[in-house]
Structure 1
Amino acid sequence: MIAITGSTGHLGRLVIAKLIDRGVPAADIVALARDTDKASDLADQGVVVREGNYDKPETLGPALDGVDTLLLISSSEVGQRARQHRAVIGAAKAAGVGLIAYTSVLHADTSELGLAEEHRQTEAALAESGVPTVLLRNGWYTENYTGSIAPALEHGVVLGSAGDAQIAAATREDFAEAAAAVLTSDEDQTGQTYELAGEPFTMSEYAAELSRQSGTSVTYQNLPEDDYQNALVGAGLPEPVAAMLAQSDVAARGGALDDDSGDLERLLGRPPTPLADAIRNALS
């Protein structure tokens, strides 16, 4: 049995769909969710739905009963992740899970991204647990940018602090497909670390491609970190999230969001989704 944490999130749902596409019977997939009602559509497909709440450790043991392989999708609660992940790792060890795949962040061990620290802590907890582990170090989602197309078109500008940084983003679907490939691989994945990234682009290139496809002139405006953070807060983002995003852009200038390992393409058996296709899909 293959269990997925965060199963009702964007990535979790895509991974489950990719597993089924690869021939994994729905009855062999366990969807862990805080609110099982939100996974009713998965249950309708035959997926086993169980309560698995990071903040209710008593739910995690029963949720992982009989599970052979676990995909631990990192929590979305920045600042709480390391604690929450340790609870899942402890429950997985007690349940006798044979392999944990963890969605970390690109170059977590050396990354200057502020959010990388909790991923490093989680990777350390996995190593200390003794449970066989494979690390899926995901780069930035292309959706981090295409999700804000509407305001970019409205105002004719994309804001950021990344300068001319190369950002090797890929779509959530690409990362989900790669995860499914690892989870269903006939090869032993223990100890593997995959640096997963797409074809790099700069924010100016992103704005130019958005302009080309939309027919609306959009430019990239590079801002100092504090100004970009304030702009994000003004757009309605919470202060900690705005600070994290602004700092991530600055770290990108040092290469934090770039990678040329080719790991993602090898797992997919095809090139990652090009930026032009991701923008086209978002516009449609």
Structure 2
Amino acid sequence: MTIAVTGATGQLGRLVLDELLTNHEPAALVAVVRDAGKAGELRARGVQVRVADYSDPASLEVALTGVDRLLLISGSEVGSRVAQHANVINAAKAAGVNFIAYTSVLAADTTDLILAPEHKATEELIRASGLENTILRNGWYTENYVQTVATARQTGAVVAAAGDGRVASAARADYAAAAAVVLSSAGHEGRVYELSGDYAWDFKELATALTEIAGREVVYQPVTAAELVEVLTSAGLDQGTAGFLAALDSDTQAGLLATVTGDLSGLIGRPTTPLLQALRSAAAAAS
């Protein structure tokens, strides 16, 4: 059985391959990458490295030839992802791939989360393809707050428009472990997993964790979405990016990232990584 992972040099893809390498022969693993120069470590470990781009259907079909099971990690180009994902799905079908897993987002078909529409559309394409599939609806990554650690060290504050909203985040490695389980074992076909951390924390608890990591008192300063846009643009962000981040905070305030299902810890056979532990590790890796 040959397993391929797209986006294999990215933050999630590399972790998935790390998990797969614990119980698969390296030659049975395919890293689909856009830049071969970033895949030297994977090649040195014996993983097959194949170059393809989500926007290049021909390269994708070549890269997926001989692959049995595929993990499609969602692309990072918001606004272009549905077309790019369609290219991967069509190439997988043409290449004879038997099974595809996809990293979606929590409750993609019902949530108002700003990120959801492209994921919902991709899920529909996968189902329409006729390929056996599993949908991994990933919740929030704790590592999304690494920059918050750096800012808190400097300012002693977490400024957000999240109100009393909660976030059931988990470490990226937790989600990677779940993907590896699904790729490596039977019985997941046709399943939709709603993946999230075991506990939904609020921003006061985030500030407490940051106090531990930063070695100084960190407080949560709630603001409105409009105020947050002003703070972010004053710090140098463009209006579009600032508005997008403020919308994510508004979604958090609405409880769209707070869902705790137990699916993630159930798949990986252990509790998800606690907020403080995951943040501390991520901050150390980033420094």
Q: Same fold (TM over 0.5)?
A: yes
> What RMSD, in angstroms, separates the aligned Cα atoms of the two structures?
1.4
Give deviations 1:70-109, integer Å, cap 9, x for gaps. Answer: 1000001111111100010010111111111000011111
Which residue in 1 is equivalent to 2:123? 123
SS at 2:4 equivalent: strand
Which residue in 2 is equivalent to 1:194? 193
Which residue in 1 is equivalent to 2:222? 222
Normalised by the size of structure 2, how large is the TM-score? Answer: 0.94
Q: 2:139 touches 2:257 (CA, 8 Å); kept in 1?
A: yes
Q: Which blocks of at least 5 consecutive residues in structure 2 are unaligned?
A: none
Q: 1:89 touches 1:126 (CA, 8 Å); kept in 2?
A: yes
Q: 1:233 to 1:56 in 2, by over 3 A?
A: farther
Which residue in 2 is equivalent to 1:20? 21
1:1-284 matches, cutoff 5 A: 1-21=2-22, 23-185=23-185, 187-198=186-197, 199-284=199-284
Give, in angstroms, the shift of residue 213 of structure 1. 4.1
Give, in angstroms, the shift of residue 188 of structure 1. 2.4
Give the counterpart letter for 1:202 in structure 2: D
Q: 1:115 touches 1:244 (CA, 8 Å); kept in 2?
A: no
Cα distance in 2, alignment partners of residues 165 and 258 from structure 1: 7
How many residues were matched structurally? 282
Q: 2:149 touches 2:214 (CA, 8 Å); kept in 1?
A: no
Give, in angstroms, the shift of residue 255 of structure 1. 1.9
Give deviations 1:159-191, integer Å, cap 9, x for gaps. Answer: 111111110000111111111111111x22211
Q: 1:214 touches 1:283 (CA, 8 Å); kept in 2?
A: no
Give, in angstroms, the shift of residue 238 of structure 1. 4.4
Give the counterpart letter for 1:11 in structure 2: L
SS at 1:4 equivalent: strand
Give the counterpart letter for 1:227 in structure 2: E
Q: 2:140 touches 2:257 (CA, 8 Å); kept in 1?
A: yes
Cα distance in 2, alignment partners of residues 24 and 234 from structure 1: 49
Q: 1:7 to 1:165 in 2, by over 3 A?
A: same
Normalised by the size of structure 1, how large is the TM-score? Answer: 0.95
Cα distance in 2, alignment partners of residues 24 and 134 from structure 1: 20
Give deviations 1:116-164, integer Å, cap 9, x for gaps. Answer: 1100110111111111110111111101113331111101111111111
SS at 1:147 equivalent: helix
Cα distance in 2, alignment partners of residues 6 and 99 from structure 1: 17
Moved more, 163-172 or 242-251: 242-251
Cα distance in 1, alignment partners of residues 61 and 234 from structure 2: 42
Cα distance in 2, alignment partners of residues 64 and 282 from structure 1: 32
Give, in angstroms, the shift of residue 283 of structure 1. 4.8
Cα distance in 2, alignment partners of residues 73 and 236 from structure 1: 30
Q: 2:207 touches 2:220 (CA, 8 Å); kept in 1?
A: yes
SS at 2:112 equivalent: coil
